[in-house]
Amino acid sequence: MSEKIDEVQVRKVAKLSRLDLTDTEIKEFTGQLEAILEYVDKMNQLDTEGVEPMAHCLPISNCLREDTVTDSLGADAILANAPQRDGDFFKVPRILDDNSGA
C-alpha cells in the first residue's frame, strides 16, 4: 500500500501554495487526499500488460475546416458595431497619461 499522507504533509503543501487553511480544512483535505492515494494504489495493482497507452478514453479527432483564402469583410463591416471609431480604426479610451514614458 502507498505511504499514508498526514496532516503535517498537508500543512506543508498548503504553506507552499500560500493557502491559509483552518484545522478543520486540514483534516478534511487529509482524508480526501488519502482516499485519492488509496484509489491510485488500487489502480497500480491492475494488470496492464499488453494494454496500449492512450491519451483519451474516447476516439477523438479534430474537425477542422479546409484553410481557404476568402475576401475580407472590409473596414466598414468590421467597424459597424464599434462603440467609437476614428476613420478605419477602433477608438479606445486612453489608459496611459503623457508622463508614463510609453
Instruction: Identify the pLDDT of residue 2.
Output: 54
**Mean pLDDT in residue range 68-94:** 90
Instruction: Identify the pLDDT of residue 101.
Output: 66
Are 39 and 1 contacting, i.e. CB atoms less than 8 angstroms apart? Answer: no
Q: How confident is the model at residue 36 (pLDDT cuts 50, 70, 90)?
A: very high
Other beta carbons within 10 angstroms of residue 23's beta carbon come to: 9
Average pLDDT of the chain, as a whole number:
88
Domain ranges of the chain: 7-44
Task: Supply 43's cell numbers.
Answer: 489502480
Are 102 and 96 contacting, i.e. CB atoms less than 8 angstroms apart? Answer: yes
Kindly report the pTM of this predicted structure: 0.48
Burial, 11: exposed, middle or buried (Cβ in 10 Å; 0-12, 13-18, 19+)?
middle
Whose CA is closest to 25, among 39, 35, 14? 14
Percentage of the chain lying above the pLDDT 70 cut: 95
In CATH, 7-44 is 1.10.20: yes
Are 21 and 29 contacting, i.e. CB atoms less than 8 angstroms apart? Answer: yes
User: Tell me: the pLDDT tens digits for 12-27?
Assistant: 999 999 999 999 999 9
